[in-house]
Amino acid sequence: MNEYSILIGGKAGDGISQAGQIIGSIFSSLGYHVYQYVDYPSLIRGGHNFCIIRAAKEPIFTHRTKVNAIIAFDQQTVDTHLDKLANHGIILFDKDKVKTEGVGISITQIINELQGIPIMGNTAMIAVLFRYLGVPWEHVESVLSRKIPKKIEKNLQIAQAAWKTVTPGLNISPISGETKPFLSGNEWIAIGLLAGGIDAYIAYPMTPSSGVLHFLASVAEETGITVYHPESEIAVILMALGFSYTGKKSAVGTSGGGFCLMTEGLSLAGQAELPIVIIVSQRTGPSTGLPTYTAQSDLMFIRHAGQGEFPRWIAAPANPDEALRLGAEAVQISSQFQIPAFILTDKTFSEGIYTGSSSLPRTEPTTKPGPTFPYNRYADHPDGISPVLSPPYPGESIKVNSYTHDVRGITTEDPQVTRFMVEKRKRKQQVLCEYVDRPENIFIDGDKNATTGIICWGSVRGPVTEAIQTMSVRIISPLILEPFPKKSFLKAMEGVEKIILIEESAMGQLDKILREHGIVPDQQILRYDGRPSAVEELEEQIRRYV
Amino acid sequence: MNPNESLVADTKNTWCPGCGNFAIQHAVKFVIEEFEKEGVPRENFVFVTGIGCHAKIADYFNLNSFYSLHGRTIPVASGIKMANPDLKVICFAGDGDLYAEGLEHLIHAAKRNIDITVICHNNRVYGLTTGQYTPTSPYGYRGKSTPGGIHEYPLNIIEMLLGSGATFVARGYSRKIPLLKRIIREAILHPGFAHIDVLQICASFFNMTPQYDEFVYETSEANVSQFDVACRTGQQWNYSDPGPIPLGIFYKTIKPSFPENKEKKVINREEIIRTILSRYS
Ligand code: SF4
């Protein structure tokens, strides 16, 4: 077998997601590429949580419908997911709580005998799984000892006891290759921001973006960055702009609802020409919508948010490497062009967990023209980008302004000055357009000569890439959505006669941008139930049109 | 902006004749000049303003400024202070701006005792939008949006600030300049959140000069660190009924302030990221 899919399910509070992560880490330590999908309702205890961990020899960024093993902590897991079990698949379950066929272990009894606590059932089940897969105890033990936060000895004792109750059913082989870091999409983006040189991350908790806040808060001390959670998203973006004013590179993160509150601050960034990185992780909307489920329905909102006209940059990563690269690039672009730079992601990518490479993106040193004196914050420059100076600077007053202003930053209503400032920002937009219109900002895959093209963006690209493996289609997926890299995109589309657009929205979001550029999809595959598509589901849908 | 240059900019001033803003500007100029003489360079000051008549002060000073949004001086100022604790960050805000749209930020800034100074130009009316009521307009105030008179009592902002944990609470008056100068200076020196509610007359829409002149008095600052005394002083006037209006510093205490001025470590970002990544392998 080339790949393994494991579904693990139980109640919220059972530690399902953490157990999934340890399973993923063990696979990763065996050299596999791993992806973990996390599905949970918006509640803290009870309900049904599950995750799917997939391990493969090739890089993977999505789940499949069928799984080779189900680990059931409760009856609902079996009842809900039994139809997902592949031929020859196996159910591993807690015999004391679940009735079904397969490998039943008396988890509760083992824990009682060894005087453990219920949560240790997770470690026991993980041991059972890898025993069944034929992985040596020493290997499992070494990962467990690194990953279990508390009471390692007791956990290992219980895990070993459970281990002994099972006989191997398979014999999976380790793959040569390094152990890859295994982190959530949010964490990959956060590392990208760090690599890009952020000084501050300000955010208010909001699913599914909170992972960035939690991760950066946990490393704030050692990385020397400021991480702060103030009273609201309104405060978040304005505080971050305060950092920008002093020359510090700042980023904020939220989801659509929180971004609604940030829009006035966004316009301020546009008018005052202050750099800011904004991470927006989409979930099902409108309004509160489905807080813990996915969507790609905020692109038009992000693209048009804020009153007035000003340049912005929007990137949508589809995998860990792109998250690293675009996260770092967002920091540099926002700072170099003094504009808002967005990382637009979604629940699937934010909370999905992926193995990625540990090679850091190259950060290009930006050469900016130095200020001239007496200093004018909005001094003219051919590319529309004014040289930045930060306070305190002896002898100079540094003024930024939300009003239309002159080169010094003083409020004006003069029509000529107004036109001049608008044109300065337009020139900047033009330079930005040219900067993003590069081939590496368009991802092309599949059969590169095919006349059928699939267009998609963000996390959807993962399953699409796998779904089309036996078809003659070309994937064209832009990494930058604003300004749209038009020339490079059209180049990638050369020879395409039939276009299929795949998006997780009801009305089509990228669709609107494509139409602006005269590209009209022939078919649309849209999904809007909050769930990401598995490979097989997409494969079936795409086949209808190919 | 060299020390010989005037602090007041050569920009055209558009405040109405007789406006209380002039007095506040004058007091602030005096205080900054004093600090300069004592060795605090003027470039260490950053003015953050909201939107409204008061906010034009950003344009009228030759100093660092961030002309921000309506109600949003405090988060901007907080970000600046957190980013560079060496800067002296002063918010100029209006009562409509700060006590209506900006209220959540005000309460939280007081709660976190962030080391900034807030000067509220409280003319108890929206001046720039031509005379509507604000959170501190008196009961029954008739403005263009409330022709029948408002049926709300004003917010006693002093009580609210004390209840929010502010460590420096004061009230000034635009026609008592020496007192105003002293309060502004002490507020800037105060390590923590300092708030000055400045009663300011609006010459065009709400000229309260006769009433203020009759009722204001300087309160004793003998028990300035006692919270219950401060509360009683704050309750003497409810922003609505005519009666004695205390001026001065009502409350001053020292509590841990924010941000802490930490020593900057030299960090190799790339190396740290590699260490972090290795933890997740
Ligand atoms: S409207 Fe009132 S507050 Fe505004 S400038 Fe005129 S007098 Fe001053």
pLDDT surpassing 70 at residue B1: no
| Predicted local distance difference test score (pLDDT) of residue A361 | 84
Mean of pLDDT values over B252-261: 92
- Which residues of A are less than 8 Å from B74 in CB distance? 235
Nearest to A201 by CA among A267, A102, A278: A278
pLDDT surpassing 80 at residue B207: yes
DSSP designation for A340: E
Distance CA A420, CA A414 (A): 10
The predicted-structure confidence for A243-278, as pLDDT tens digits, reads as follows 999 999 999 999 999 999 999 999 999 999 999 999
| Predicted local distance difference test score (pLDDT) of residue A202 | 98
Question: Going by DSSP bridges, is the β-strand pair A226-228/A200-203 parallel, antiparallel, or unpaired?
Answer: parallel
Burial of B17 (0-12, 13-18, 19+ CB in 10 A): exposed
The predicted-structure confidence for B23-75, as pLDDT tens digits, reads as follows 999 999 999 999 999 999 999 999 999 999 999 999 999 999 999 999 999 99
Q: Is A306 on the interface with B (CB under 8 A)?
A: no
Mean of pLDDT values over B188-215: 97
Mean pLDDT, rounded, of chain B: 96
From A390, which residue of chain B is nearest by alpha-carbon distance? B64
For A245, how many CA atoms within 13 A lie in the half-sphere containing its CB? 37
Q: Minimal Cα–Cα distance from A267 to chain B, Å?
A: 10
Contact criterion met (CB < 8 Å) for B83 and A200: yes
Q: Minimal Cα–Cα distance from A451 to chain B, Å?
A: 41
- Which residues of B are less than 8 Å from A248 in CB distance? 83-84
Distance CA A213, CA A206 (A): 9
| Predicted local distance difference test score (pLDDT) of residue A199 | 97
Question: Going by DSSP bridges, is the β-strand pair A85-94/A452-455 parallel, antiparallel, or unpaired?
Answer: unpaired
| Predicted local distance difference test score (pLDDT) of residue A14 | 83
The amino acid that residue A225 corresponds to is I
Rg (CA), chain A: 25
The predicted-structure confidence for A46-69, as pLDDT tens digits, reads as follows 789 999 999 999 999 998 989 999
Predicted TM-score (pTM) of this structure: 0.96
From A215, which residue of chain B is nearest by alpha-carbon distance? B276
| Predicted local distance difference test score (pLDDT) of residue A125 | 94
Q: Residue B108: which of A224, A231, A245 has the nearest Cβ?
A: A231
The runs of H, that is alpha helices, within A44-96 are 75-81
The DSSP element (H or E) to which A35 belongs, if any, is: strand A33-39
ipTM of the complex: 0.97
Mean pLDDT in order along chain A per 10 residues (546 residues):
90 88 94 93 84 94 92 94 93 92 92 92 94 93 89 92 91 84 97 97 98 97 96 98 98 98 98 98 97 97 98 98 97 97 98 91 74 96 95 97 98 98 97 97 96 98 95 98 98 97 98 97 97 94 95
| Predicted local distance difference test score (pLDDT) of residue B2 | 56
Given ligand 1 and candidates B14, B54, B95, B128, which is best to mutate, with the most ligand atoms within 8 Å of its CB? B128
Structure tokens at A228: 């702060």
CA-to-CA dists, residue A156 to A110, B82, B229, angstroms: 12, 45, 61
| Predicted local distance difference test score (pLDDT) of residue B260 | 82
Contact criterion met (CB < 8 Å) for A391 and B83: no
As a whole number of Å, the end-to-end CA separation of chain B is 54
| Predicted local distance difference test score (pLDDT) of residue B267 | 86
For the stretch A478-503, what's the b/e string if a residue is b when 16 or more beta carbons lie within 10 angstroms of its beta carbon? bbbbbbbbbebbeebbeebeebbbbb
